[in-house]
Structure 1
Amino acid sequence: MSGGPIGNLFASLPQHPASEVFDTLLDHDSVRIERIVSQGHTAPAEGWFDQDEHEWVLVLEGAGRLLFEDGREVELRRGDHLHIPAHVRHKVSWTDPQRLTVWLAVFYA
């Protein structure tokens, strides 16, 4: 059995996106992998992610900050990764406005 087509995480990156761009790269059984592209974007003031799945996130390029409901804020730069357990409420509080931030997010049960 052969694999699917070859993809590239840096292909077709939007330039100066008006809002965050979410691209699902893989969605299979209990795992979903997304590429997220941000540039100066944040979550709405009232919006928190409260997910049923665990999330492992990696910053491939750029920088961003995640704010957690308990007040902790974490800055992630190129190469930094973080595990976020299911139902840990969090949101994006800052992304670099000068350049694209490319995230890779893996969601799993």
Structure 2
Amino acid sequence: MRDALPEEPQAEELVEILMEGRGLRLERIVSTGQATPEDDWYDLAWDEFVVLVSGAARLRIEGEDEDRALEAGDWVLLPAHCRHRVTWTQTAPPAVWLAIHHEGALSRREAEAE
């Protein structure tokens, strides 16, 4: 089921948990101009795979010299404790993200060994 996207900028991002299970959470995030405060960083205890479904955004990863410009279809894998922040999101149309939070991915070699 698909919820309608906001037609105007919102005060906060819309975060909707689409699925949650043992060691896994899938979120739909709708951003309408929001950004992480300049002195704040996400430092998550789990891996995060993010796909920008629509719109545009910029992401800063600690230690990189420039923001990463993201457009629809772009994705980023952020390992646990990779400090990052959103520096800009498109207002209209909104930036729509799918974020998969998980406890840690196995490498292909590790998965084949199991």
TM-score (norm 2): 0.82
Aligned ranges for residues 8-87 of structure 1 at < 5 Å?
8=2, 11-16=3-8, 17-72=10-65, 73-87=67-81
Which of 85, 88, 91 is equivalent to 1:91?
85
- C-alpha distance in 2 between matches for 1:96 and 1:49: 20
Q: What letter matches 1:31 in structure 2?
A: L
Residues 49-76 of structure 1 deviation map (CA, whole Å, 9 limit, x = unaligned): 0001100000111010111121342111
Structure 2 unaligned blocks of 5 or more: 104-114
- C-alpha distance in 1 between matches for 2:92 and 2:29: 16
- C-alpha distance in 2 between matches for 1:106 and 1:54: 8
Identity %: 37
Q: CA RMSD in A?
A: 1.2
Residues 9-33 of structure 1 deviation map (CA, whole Å, 9 limit, x = unaligned): xx23223222111111111001000
Structure number with higher helix proportion:
2
Q: Which has the larger radius of gyration?
A: 2
- C-alpha distance in 1 between matches for 2:15 and 2:6: 11
- C-alpha distance in 1 between matches for 2:63 and 2:89: 20
